[in-house]
Structure 1
Amino acid sequence: MRPAFLTCLIGLCTLGACSSVSDPATDPYGLWMGKLVTEQGICPTSDVSSLRIRGHEIVFNPGMSSSTLKGTYEKGQQHYLAELVDKGMNGKPYRQTFSGYPVGTAIGGTYTSPRCRAHVSLTRR
């Protein structure tokens, strides 16, 4: 075989592998991970955050903390919302939310709590 033919064949195989990455707008199911980037306050940025979409369930874990934000997903949605409302130390509600949306082959989103606001770009694992 000619070297030029092999080079073209390898290039086409590589492009085929890249095009098989599914778009979260049509297939968001699976595990997505990324690091929070603080916009305001004190956020859990030292560890990665995870988003899992499985069946009708959305679970977001900010910075691998003990907090687990939950939501529901219906096929075809372009918005992923999860929240957790705990009782704070002062007895008032302590609300944490994750609001995400498809951005190319990633899921972008915003995490908010009374102590912090951060954005995140999550990639499929």
Structure 2
Amino acid sequence: MRPAFLTCLLSLCALGACSSLPDPATDPYGLWMGRLVTEQGTCPTEEMSSLRIRGHEIVFNPGMTSSTLRGTYRKGDQHYLADLTDKGMNGTPYRQAFDGYPVGTAIGGTYTSPRCRAHVSLVRR
């Protein structure tokens, strides 16, 4: 077999597999993984971040840290919102937020905290 033919065949197989993925705009349920990309400040980029949508619950874990951001999902929503407000070291509120939305077969989003701002592209696992 020619290498060019084999490359084309493998590419077509990969495209066929991708086209059968459910659209997150209509079926966002499941586990989504991706790595944060820092836009400003210091973000937890060393580890993967995860988003889980199950039933009416949204859970986002930025960079596999101990922070768990939670939100509520309603079927048909096009935004996936989760947040967490803790007390900072000086007693002031420390708010973290995730705002996600469907982008093709992925979920894109923005993670913000007082120390950082990052974007992320999450794929279904």
Deviations 1:53-81 (A, max 9, x none): 00000000000000000000000000000
Q: What residue ranges of structure 2 are gaps of 5+ in the alignment?
A: 1-8
Note the 1:110-121 alignment, pairs <5 A: 110-121=110-121
Q: TM-score, normalised by structure 2?
A: 0.88
Deviations 1:26-75 (A, max 9, x none): 00000000000000000000000000000000000000000000000000
Task: Give aligned-pair identity as a percent.
Answer: 82
Distance (whole Å) between structure 2 residues aligned to residue 17 and residue 91 of structure 1: 50
Instruction: Mark the structure with the bigger radius of gyration.
Output: 1
Q: TM-score, normalised by structure 1?
A: 0.88
Note the 1:27-66 alignment, pairs <5 A: 27-66=27-66
Note the 1:39-118 alignment, pairs <5 A: 39-118=39-118
Change (3 A) 1:39 1:18: closer
Aligned residues: 116
- What is the RMSD computed on CA atoms of the aligned residues? 1.7
- Give, as a single letter, the amino acid of the residue that structure 2 aligns with 1:43: C
Residue 16 of structure 1 deviates from its aligned partner by 4.7
- Give, as a single letter, the amino acid of the residue that structure 1 aligns with 2:33: M
Q: What residue ranges of structure 1 are gaps of 5+ in the alignment?
A: 1-9
Distance (whole Å) between structure 2 residues aligned to residue 47 and residue 16 of structure 1: 30
**SS in structure 2 of the partner of residue 32 of structure 1:** strand
Residue 20 of structure 1 deviates from its aligned partner by 1.4
Distance (whole Å) between structure 2 residues aligned to residue 49 and residue 83 of structure 1: 14
Deviations 1:74-97 (A, max 9, x none): 000000000000000010000000
Distance (whole Å) between structure 2 residues aligned to residue 93 and residue 86 of structure 1: 6
